[in-house]
Structure 1
Amino acid sequence: MGVKSQTTLPNVANSFLGANDTGISHFPSFLGLKMHIRCYANVTSANQKGPIALFDSGLPFFSTAWVSVIPSVLENMPAWNISKACFMDRYGMGWSDASPFPITTQDYAMRLRGSLQVAGLTGKYVLVGWSWGSIFVQTYSLAYPKDVVGILTVDGTDSQWGFIHANQQAVIGLTNVFSGYMNMNSMGTLEALSETGAVPLGHGWFNSGSAYFPDCAVKATQDIFLTNKNLRASIQEYNIMVLSSAMLNFTYTLKGDTLKDLPYVNLFASHDQDWINRQTYMASLSSNSMTLPVVPANHFVPFVNPDAIVSALAALSNKIKTNPAKIWGRGLF
């Protein structure tokens, strides 16, 4: 077995939908790092100038986490007025370059915007973030409001996350766990452990036989998980979570910025009352928001209930069409 190196990453073209996959991978270089962005185009003649939907995953996942919704997104792009749907890998994750240093979400948003411009993926954006990816959705929207026409958060992390003691302790614990994974991987024992089911989905290991993920996507994700490049990037991200959420909270509370009337759909699972309260607060940041429940409640929505994400995207598309922002993005900040 042994440790897999960055040079043995699976072929990206064969790692998503399998045969007849129409996606195109972009590798724009910006500020010395290449980012992988996998895009699927609306193949109809309609909506060619519509916004681009950008999907960012939870931690420690990357672009393949969204494979379960890609077929439905392809089917509904014309009706949703989307010209492209693009799925990003944050640095060190998936097929993106590793960074020599941790990159905060605020820095990542700036780098993503530059990478999108290098790749020619410019225009208006609909931002979709699951879990930790929701911090990106909010950060990017506040940094570049004229670029964004709507957002969807999927059981998303909120700006108050970093102030919760249990979360601060979880970061320390996960850092230790992933450091252990790296040591095991270097000794060639992590793969066997993962295949026994001892590494949970929440740590990024895809189990075989998923109802919503083709075998090629599962295999590619497993192969990438079993690289110290990916494991090291996970540690880097765990160590910027508290800072990044605190910086977002600073923007909301001390600077007084909100999401104004940006079309916003908040899809969330009812874990406990505190989580519900924080999701309600997130939704309240826009006067043009709606909340949708995930039933049954489960944080791993792309894996267990991708239809809920598709329904939320349809609701967001309708909101953008029938009640677009009038204040948001007009320079009135």
Structure 2
Amino acid sequence: MKLSTLFITLLLIGVSYSQPDVSNSYLGVGDTGVSYFPSYLNLQMHIRCYSNVTAANQNGPIALFDSGLPFFSTAWVPIIPSALANMPSWNISKACFMDRYGYGWSNSSSYPITTQEYVVRLRGSLQVAGLTGKYILVGWSWGSIFIQTYSLTYPKEVVGILSIDGTDSKWGLIPSNQQNVITLSDAVKGYINMNNMGTLEPLARSGMVGSYFGWLPDALVSSGYTQCSLTASQSIFLDSTNKFLKTAIQEYNIMVISSAILNFTYTIKSTPTPLKDLPYINIYSSYVEDPEWSNRQTLMTSLSTNSQSFEFTTGHYFPFHNPTAIVSGINALANKIKSNPAQLWGTALF
């Protein structure tokens, strides 16, 4: 092989990295999940998948789950048993949970990766892993920006989306959110300093680190998390290289620009329903301190003519406090895809 050919091959596919054993980081003994570590454009991504073991729907859509910021695949542990039990009725072949770059067992990037670049890299990674076909996209919090961006970028591959108290495209245009990014970044920089001095772990274990920073406390074992999933998540949070914490700062730095680009993309469509008739379920929580949140969720739901929303009082952390609502949302989406699939979505350019 010529050197030039070899260089191009390595650039497109990526290089070989070690693959950690994460088999005891989710459900524990008897976990049937399979971890994929596809390398694409020199970065390795970790994708944890659970397969439909029945004879039905072996060629059905793959459900892809993307978590809020700064969480990763272990955040979904409470719904994995329900996913395994409901795959036949959901008409899906697999349920796959992603670690965005720098989180979980995915490689870190040397620079902040916008959501727009991330979806391109994710698609390439899915192809390298052989996880191809149609997708149902599920996004919690910041993961909602992902499912919207992926749908607009690759509409022919998406058959339905579920947003869970999701970030909307106007989020980055709000001054208070722009300030929050700075505040959160500064706080995590402080945690990095503490981790270097060995004082972050006792602070976290005493309950003094908020869940919004990505720390999963042992108390969540009563909410459907296994102890092994909590232990694995805590170990990653406290990693001595600060991989997780540095990644959180990178992602804070792309929140405004990523949501603004998505908002611009919607604007140039010049239509109130840029998602056409894409089957879409939106579950969200109401907040007394932010009544505008519900209004923006309603607007986000209206982006598709084939959508439905459900309001809860759960609070933002649905995987922690109301995984049943997530399962119900997937049920509703699966029924919508079956009874009222898209006729216009993905069939032509806008």
| TM-score of the superposed pair, with normalisation by structure 2 | 0.91
Segments of structure 2 that go 5 or more residues without pairing to the other structure are 1-16
User: Following the alignment from structure 2 to structure 1, what is the Cα–Cα distance between the partners of residues 103 and 176?
Assistant: 25
Tell me, yes or no, if the aligned pair for 2:138 and 2:161 is still in contact at 8 Å: yes
User: Following the alignment from structure 2 to structure 1, what is the Cα–Cα distance between the partners of residues 291 and 203?
Assistant: 35
> Match of 1:150, SS?
strand
User: Following the alignment from structure 2 to structure 1, what is the Cα–Cα distance between the partners of residues 94 and 192?
Assistant: 36
RMSD (CA atoms): 1.3
Tell me, yes or no, if the aligned pair for 2:46 and 2:99 is still in contact at 8 Å: yes
Residue 254 of structure 1 and its aligned partner are, at CA, apart by 2.5
> Given the alignment, which residue of 219, 227, 240 partners 1:215?
227
If asked which structure has higher relative contact order (CA below 8 Å, sep 6+), I would say 1
User: Counterpart in 1 of 2:281?
Assistant: 265
User: Counterpart in 1 of 2:311?
Assistant: 293
Instruction: Using the aligned pairs only, state the percent identity.
Output: 65
Residue 11 of structure 1 and its aligned partner are, at CA, apart by 4.0
Residue 327 of structure 1 and its aligned partner are, at CA, apart by 0.2
- 1:224 matches 2:240: no
- 1:86 matches 2:96: yes
User: Counterpart in 2 of 1:251?
Assistant: 265
Q: How does 1:165-180 map to 2 (within 5 A)?
A: 165-180=175-190
Residue 10 of structure 1 and its aligned partner are, at CA, apart by 7.8
> Match of 1:12, SS?
coil
> What is the one-letter code of the residue matched to 2:294?
I
User: Counterpart in 2 of 1:277?
Assistant: 295
Runs of 4+ in 1 over 6 A off after TM superposition: none
User: Following the alignment from structure 1 to structure 2, what is the Cα–Cα distance between the partners of residues 297 and 165?
Assistant: 26
User: Counterpart in 1 of 2:205?
Assistant: 195
User: Following the alignment from structure 2 to structure 1, what is the Cα–Cα distance between the partners of residues 250 and 22?
Assistant: 23
| TM-score of the superposed pair, with normalisation by structure 1 | 0.96
Tell me, yes or no, if the aligned pair for 1:27 and 1:36 is still in contact at 8 Å: yes
Residue 189 of structure 1 and its aligned partner are, at CA, apart by 1.1
> Match of 1:37, SS?
strand
Tell me, yes or no, if the aligned pair for 1:24 and 1:40 is still in contact at 8 Å: yes
User: Following the alignment from structure 2 to structure 1, what is the Cα–Cα distance between the partners of residues 248 and 182?
Assistant: 12
> What is the one-letter code of the residue matched to 1:234?
A
User: Following the alignment from structure 1 to structure 2, what is the Cα–Cα distance between the partners of residues 314 and 215?
Assistant: 27
Residue 316 of structure 1 and its aligned partner are, at CA, apart by 0.1
> Given the alignment, which residue of 318, 321, 336 partners 1:304?
321
> Match of 1:55, SS?
strand
Residue 273 of structure 1 and its aligned partner are, at CA, apart by 2.3
User: Counterpart in 1 of 2:345?
Assistant: 328
User: Following the alignment from structure 2 to structure 1, what is the Cα–Cα distance between the partners of residues 106 and 295?
Assistant: 35
Tell me, yes or no, if the aligned pair for 2:314 and 2:322 is still in contact at 8 Å: no
